Amino acid sequence: MPRDLIPRPRNVPVRRETARALQRVAERTRVEQAAVRATSALAEFSMSEVAFLKRTQRELELAVPDAGEALNLIANTAAMAIARRVHQFGEEIG
C-alpha cells in the first residue's frame, strides 16, 4: 500500500454526509468506468471493421484492377462514416 494511503478501519462511525458523498463518488466512478469501456469496445470493433474493409478493398482491386478507384472511394467513405459514428458516440456518452 502506498505510504500516503491509510487503511480505514471497518465499522468506524462516519458522518451521514460523508457516507453519502462517498456513495456519490463510487457511483460516478462506476458510470465513468462503464462509459470508458463502452467507448473502448466501440473503437476496437470499429477499427476491426475498417481493417476488414481495407483488406476486402485490396483483394477486390487485385481481382478487378479497373474498379480500384471506385473501391477506394467506397472503402474510404465507409471508413469515414464509421469514424463519424465513433466520434458521435464519444460526444454523446462523454
pLDDT of residue 6: 64
Alpha-carbon torsion (83, 89, 91, 94), positive or negative: negative
pLDDT band for position 60 (cuts 50, 70, 90): very high
Confidence (pTM): 0.75
Q: What is the mean pLDDT of the chain?
A: 92
pLDDT surpasses 80 at 2? no
pLDDT surpasses 60 at 93? yes
Domain range annotation of the chain:
16-93
Dist. CA 93–CA 11, nearest whole Å: 37
Kindly state the average pLDDT of the residues 58-82: 98
Backbone φ and ψ of 9, nearest 5° = -65, 145
